[in-house]
Amino acid sequence: MNKNTKGSALANYSQLLVPLIAILLLVIFNLFRDPSFFSVGITTNNNGDPVLQGNLISILNGASELVILSMGMTLVTAASGGQDISVGALAAIAGSVFVKVLKSQGGAISPVLVVGAFLLCCAVAMAFGAFNGALVSVFNIQPMIATLILFTCGRSIAYWINGGATPTISSPIISAIGSFVPGMPVPTPILIVILMGIFFALLFRFTTLGLYIQTVGINQGAARLNGINAVGIKLLSFILLGACCSVAGMIGVSRLGLINHETLLINIEMDAILAVAIGGNSLGGGKFRMLGSVLGAYAIQALTITLYAMKVPSTDVKAYKAVVIVLLVVMGSPKVKETVERLRKRAGGKRPAGAGKEAA
Amino acid sequence: MEEGIVLTMRGICKSFPGVKALSNVDFTLRRGEIHALMGENGAGKSTLIKVLTGVYAKDAGEIRIEGIEDAISIRSPQEAQNYGISTVYQEITLCPNLTVAENMFIGRTPGRSVDWKGMEKKAGALLDSLGIPARPKQQLGSCSLAVQQMVAIARAVDTECKVLILDEPTSSLDDKEVAMLFRLMRELKARGVGIVFVTHFLEQVYEVSDRITVLRNGELVGEYEVEKLPQVELVAKMIGKELEGLSDIKRRSAVAGGAEDVVYEAEMLSSTECRPFDFHIGKGEVNGFTGLLGSGRSESVRAIFGADPVTGGRVKVDGKSVKVQKPYDAMRQGIGYLPEDRKRDGIIADLSVRENIILAYQVMKGMGHPLSRAQAEAFADEYIQALDIKTASTDTPLGSLSGGNQQKVILARWLLTHPKYLILDEPTRGIDVGTKTEIQRLVLKLAEEGMSVTFISSEIEEMLRTCSRLIVMRDRNIVGELTGNELTQERVMHTIAGGGKEDE
Ligand SMILES: Nc1ncnc2c1ncn2[C@@H]1O[C@H](COP(=O)(O)OP(=O)(O)OP(=O)(O)O)[C@@H](O)[C@H]1O
Ligand SMILES: [Mg+2]
């Protein structure tokens, strides 16, 4: 009865195929273009510490915010069957709160203050997430429409938090978050991504959240009849996305040492949604694989960096990106999968089937 | 092609990952015949039909249709439609908020502007000629399920229809509605349409069909004329062995007659969907709600489980007052509920068989206590064996199982929670004859072990066999209660029809 478990286990991974192939193609393309593209070197930074450097590192590093947002976006997509387009705006709000708290003590930035600032901005972002989530789960508003509200006014709220200014912060602690911790050659954002990954892995390992989110996303009514609090699960997914926004916002602010509410993580919501789609997750909700979205996010970042490395003018980058993304999304579509499956069957299944064909 | 034959399928093969759903199946349909397609759950009936209607691409074999020289290939339901092959699926796929006429013609009015007046006239004429009791301007949602189904059929046969396929069309209809449907089928038959009829109801097969094709495990067993195949033999051909008699099932009243301790008790319980009613069930008792479709029997049990918002009433479980507002509350009290509409309320189609089986149990264990993979696997295997669920593996998505096997998975889900009170609303819908008696036996065995069961079924015989007390409903009210030797078919019918008890 279990003869086919191997086949279905493979099927479990096939979803990761598209982002992996995308990344692989980009790697090969870049190696042809410039064999030294992926060489990783060690240099000394301003503080005299040895740090890793190279295109590979900057792809991994630069993708951090996107990866973190796409983790949360995966959950929202799965549970609600829709997407949150306010993540960029919410990250800007979170970043503004972060800076506001740091500025509140008249310049002295202690580790305790940074922790406090992060906790507060996280709480604020989660509250906004809960607001979005309530619109979606309690009032049954389409996620895109519900989050359109915050998408529109989020950056104004961020503006208002710091009184319209774009304050700068300079502190060794902040630059440690945004670039390198002294003595650590790996950029901190990459480490934060790993921490977030571990957080979600543990969450799925030690709670039933994954099962519940998928159940709610697939059949909300049936989920309720099995005792699952469907409203609560959707709400929770938006709150978790809010937390992801605050982490992304903090990284973004720390990188630059300032908050610019107009430009911080601008347009990132579309990339986050795309990362989810490229990762083979259905945008209609239901089954999900967070690892797919993470790989999707790295693929998008790799594409962006490649285009910049090819000196494509930044105005054209979007167009090129669009072309590649259309290809990726089509590659992962059910229609293409079906056709591939059929072709494979035709190639492999000649032997026994022949008998029936010739019978006439 | 031979004279009188509208459709032949030869050597049809179809596999899915891990299952050979059809191997070398032949099927022949003649003009003006009703041809029953029979077989156990998972035998391949629906798959054969989906191959014929272009939902699945066949791996091998050929399909021929009257009037076309060559073998045809059907790549989509639209193409099947163009060849004159129409299908009505078990789940009604029309739009309840459009009118009957709109439902019949929309999506197929060729050309630019819709001629509403003409459409209504045409719809009216067609409905009349087929004897369907619906008005063109009526909203579809306001018709009974049976009439909706008949509208779906009218829509299907309106086009140049040579072949009409009905996949389990009667499983949610009551006797009167079935009779209505059969009249329609005979009318179409007289017009020369070849009808393929899939069902698990043997009596219905013998009532309307001319010929029977039997499948077993994806293989063709044979094609028979109805008169030459006695019922027992048909069953033997379907399951590959003789069916054990139903006679030993009759023991129930001896087991669960005088149940003393009341497990569940409700006083003036009401929900948004049902009027206040009183109800109780004793330990080890099997009782049932009966009545016509729409009489409120499903709504009543939904209120017990908290499936619809509860609006009032007092509930006691094991003598203690409790609050049951939502399904989770009921589950905490040890109540399980297998819903009537499996597709809408039961299955989580994209999740695996394993996840579907453990779902309710997992929810009761709590969010912080996930089952280990090994444990889940063990539970799933246990119930796949116990209920003989046909699936390629525990990882197979539930949606790809055959209808009857999906139903068994949902049953497994609730059995795994070991409820003390289990509500089964149409548990045998879409389940084959062999398994049906297995499930009835199982219910009685569980009751013997002390579980209380409320059973709802459109088949009165099934309820008479299992229940020791029947609560009869009509027009959303309880109109009678039958026990002991009142439990006869005539008596039940009589009470349902309204001649029944004095307490009206
Ligand atoms: N899309 C699919 N993917 C994988 N397996 C499938 C799919 N559809 C059907 N099967 C498998 O093919 C077999 C035949 O299924 P089918 O639905 O044809 O049975 P059936 O005779 O209609 O049964 P039932 O009486 O329960 O409806 C089953 O084992 C089922 O699990
Ligand atoms: Mg079927």
What is the rounded average pLDDT of the residues B167-185? 82
DSSP string across A147-196 = HHHHHHHHHHHHHHHTTT---B---HHHHHHHT--TT--S-HHHHHHHHH
| Distance of residue B312 Cα from the nearest chain A Cα, in angstroms | 19
A52-66, B151-165, B366-380: range with lowest mean pLDDT: B151-165
Give the count of Cβ contacts less than 8 A between chain A and B. Answer: 125
Phi/psi of residue B243, nearest 5 degrees: -80, 135
Which two tokens mark A23? 């990344």
Minimum CA–CA partner of A221 in chain B: B345
Confidence grade of residue A36 (pLDDT, cut at 50, 70, 90): confident
CATH of B5-229, picked from 1.10.1060.10, 3.40.50.300, 3.50.50.60, 1.10.375.10, is 3.40.50.300
Is A1 within a domain?
Answer: no
In the numeric block, the tokens 């989110």 are attached to A213
Is A352 within a domain?
Answer: no
Q: With a cut of 60, say whether residue A347 has pLDDT above it.
A: yes
Q: Above 0.90 for ipTM, yes or no?
A: no
Q: Give the model's pLDDT for residue A201.
A: 97
Between B438 and B89, residue with greater pLDDT? B438
Q: Give the model's pLDDT for residue B111.
A: 56
What is the rounded average pLDDT of the residues A173-201? 94
Between B96 and A111, residue with greater pLDDT? A111
> What is the Å distance from ligand 1's center to A329 Cα?
30
Phi/psi of residue B433, nearest 5 degrees: -55, -45
Q: Residue B199 CA: which ligand is closest?
A: 1
What is the rounded average pLDDT of the residues B222-230? 93
8 A C-beta contact, residue B405 and residue B42: yes
What is the rounded average pLDDT of the residues B230-242? 84
Which CATH number do you get for residue A336?
A: 1.10.3470
Looking at chain A, the whole-number percentage of residues with pLDDT higher than 70 is: 92
* A225/B413 Cβ within 8 A: no
8 A C-beta contact, residue B330 and residue B306: yes
The 10s digit of each residue's pLDDT in B187-219 is 889 989 999 999 988 889 999 999 999 999 999
Between B93 and B279, residue with greater pLDDT? B279
Q: Give the model's pLDDT for residue B434.
A: 83
Q: With a cut of 70, say whether residue A3 has pLDDT above it.
A: no
Distance CA A197, CA A191 (A): 10
Is A342 within a domain?
Answer: yes
Question: Of A12, A211, A222, which is closest to B355 when you measure between CB atoms?
Answer: A211
Confidence grade of residue B232 (pLDDT, cut at 50, 70, 90): confident
The 10s digit of each residue's pLDDT in A121-158 is 999 999 999 999 999 999 999 999 999 999 999 999 99
* A221/B393 Cβ within 8 A: no
User: Do the domains B5-229 and B243-334+419-504 sit in the same CATH topology, yes or no?
Assistant: yes
> Which of A27-31, A128-132, A344-348, B447-451 is predicted most confidently?
A128-132
Domain around A207: 15-346
Is A358 within a domain?
Answer: no
State which ligand 1 atom lies nearest to the alpha carbon of B39.
21
B19-23, B155-159, B473-477, B479-483: range with lowest mean pLDDT: B155-159
Q: Give the model's pLDDT for residue B174.
A: 74
Mean per-residue pLDDT over chain B, rounded: 87
Question: Of B57, B60, B345, which is closest to A342 when you measure between CB atoms?
Answer: B57
- In chain B, residues with a C-beta closer than 8 Å to the C-beta of A218 are 348-351
Distance CA B134, CA B147 (A): 7
B108-112, B239-243, B413-417: range with lowest mean pLDDT: B108-112
Distance CA B317, CA B360 (A): 20
Q: Give the model's pLDDT for residue B260.
A: 66
CB within 8 Å of A33: residues ≥ 6 apart = A310
Q: Give the model's pLDDT for residue B114.
A: 66
8 A C-beta contact, residue B355 and residue B410: no
What is the maximum alpha-carbon separation in chain A? 90
Minimum CA–CA partner of B345 in chain A: A222
Distance CA B377, CA A175 (A): 49
Is A360 within a domain?
Answer: no
Q: With a cut of 80, say whether residue A308 has pLDDT above it.
A: yes
Q: Give the model's pLDDT for residue A349.
A: 46
Looking at chain B, the whole-number percentage of residues with pLDDT higher than 70 is: 92
Between B136 and B363, residue with greater pLDDT? B363
Domains: count for chain A: 1
In short, whether B47's Cβ falls inside 6 Å of ligand 1 is yes
For ligand 1, pick from B46, B56, B171, B394 the residue to mutate: most ligand atoms within 8 Å of CB. B46
Distance CA B275, CA B289 (A): 15
- In chain B, residues with a C-beta closer than 8 Å to the C-beta of A286 are 350
For ligand 1, pick from B13, B14, B16, B87 the residue to mutate: most ligand atoms within 8 Å of CB. B16
Q: Give the model's pLDDT for residue B268.
A: 95
Distance CA B438, CA B249 (A): 10
> Which of A100-109, B226-235, B321-330 is predicted most confidently?
B321-330
* B368/A357 Cβ within 8 A: no
Mean per-residue pLDDT over chain A, rounded: 88
Residue with the smallest CA separation from ligand 1 atom 19 is: B42
Q: Give the model's pLDDT for residue B488.
A: 87
A12-26, A58-72, A324-338, B181-195: range with lowest mean pLDDT: A324-338
Confidence grade of residue A359 (pLDDT, cut at 50, 70, 90): very low
- In chain B, residues with a C-beta closer than 8 Å to the C-beta of A357 are 11, 60-62
Is A326 within a domain?
Answer: yes
Write down the domain spans for chain B: 5-229, 243-334+419-504, 349-418
Q: Considering the entire predicted model, what is its pTM?
A: 0.87
Q: B243-334+419-504 sits in which CATH class?
A: alpha beta
Q: Give the model's pLDDT for residue A247.
A: 98
Is A7 within a domain?
Answer: no
> Which of A160-169, A194-203, B399-408, B468-477 is predicted most confidently?
A194-203
A32-36, A254-258, B196-200: range with lowest mean pLDDT: A32-36
8 A C-beta contact, residue B354 and residue A12: no
Alpha helices in chain A (DSSP H): 5-14, 17-33, 55-62, 64-80, 87-104, 111-137, 143-161, 172-178, 188-206, 209-218, 220-225, 230-256, 268-278, 290-309, 314-331, 334-348, 350-358
In the numeric block, the tokens 């930074």 are attached to A45
Is A353 within a domain?
Answer: no
Side-chain half-sphere CA neighbours of B368 within 13 A? 0
Which two tokens mark A119? 């906790």
Which two tokens mark B267? 């006083």
